[in-house]
Amino acid sequence: MDDEHDDRKVTRRSNDECRRLAQRTKEYYHIGRTWPVNIGRVLRCGKILTVRGEKPLIYRVVPDAVLGLKDARTELIDGSVVITTRQSVGSSLLWGDPRTRMTMAHELGHGVMHAEEGAVDHRATGATGTTTISKMSASESAEHQAKVFASAFLIDDQRAAELATSMDIALEFLVSGSAAEICFERVQAQREREAAAARVMEENKKFQALMKTSQEKNYHLQAFCPSCRRQTLLPLGTKVGCNGEGCGYIGDHPEDN
């Protein structure tokens, strides 16, 4: 599905910001690190925390013909966020269909981020979340933002990073294969970035240690320590000091004697 009529420009938000809003929403519903998320219970709880504050939440299931080719829609009516879905979609949600779960989490994302008087956000049957607007400016696309929100709301990244394949993610969180694959690629990339950063830090530590050793060798005097008889004397102003292990000698320069 690639239809600009099913998308609109909204306030610019990065993917990370959309994920943070999804986590805030999970905390609001006291879900925490619980999975699979019971999205049906969330939709029926009667309230929602939007970016404009807490509002009543109304979830409606209507005959398929009412929405036509749209699986669901989200709008603000008289101060309440209203999420409406087709009967067939509502039925699929009851038995945990992965794509339907993503669809309804997607609509919840619209409710949290985009619900405003006069604006209607649709989820078209067969939609992929890719639209003309999202291709040109994903951070301003309502559909792209809702897509990112839905994935973060249903998938726990910490747990996903422990799983071996995208299929494992799909089964663990009851999400669509495409959503699981996108998440898997993202957490793998994050893992690789963290590993690369750790390697850089380790190499830096080795370099610093090498430089310190080199500097100490360069500063050591040719004379031997009168106490431990090692070539470990360092200049200390008009005096010298020994940094040999277990020594600690401080005194006059041997060559002055």
Contacts of 133 (CB under 8 A, 6+ apart): 4, 7, 8, 9, 140, 141, 142, 143, 144
In the block, tokens 């957490």 appear at 187
Is residue 220 a contact partner of residue 230, using CB atoms and an 8 Å limit?
no
Note the pLDDT of residue 211: 56
- Predicted structure pTM score: 0.75
56 upstream amide cis, omega within 30 of 0: no
| Bridge partner residues of 49 (DSSP) | 54
Q: Are 149 and 105 in contact (CB under 8 A)?
A: yes
b/e map 192-203, b = 16+ CB within 10 Å = eeeeeeeeeeee
The domain spans of the chain are 4-154, 220-256
Q: What is the pLDDT along the chain (257 residues), one digit of tens a residue?
A: 444 457 899 999 999 999 999 999 999 999 988 899 999 999 999 999 999 999 999 999 999 999 998 999 999 999 999 999 999 999 999 999 999 999 999 999 999 999 887 788 877 776 765 788 888 889 999 999 999 999 999 999 999 999 999 999 999 999 999 899 999 998 988 878 887 887 888 777 776 666 566 555 557 788 888 888 888 888 877 788 888 888 888 888 777 65
Give the pLDDT confidence score for residue 191 in this predicted structure.
Answer: 79
**Confidence at residue 257, expressed as pLDDT on a 0 to 100 scale:** 58
C-alpha distances in Å from residue 228, one per residue of 71, 150, 224, 255, 256: 84, 69, 8, 16, 18
Determine the Cα–Cα distance for residues 225 and 217; give it in Å rounded to an integer: 15
DSSP state of 237: T
Q: Residue length, the chain?
A: 257
pLDDT at position 218: 58
Contact criterion met (CB below 8 Å) for 47 and 55: yes
What is the predicted pLDDT for the residue at 231? Answer: 86
Q: Token digits for 7? A: 């998308």
Only one residue has tokens 């696309």, namely 141
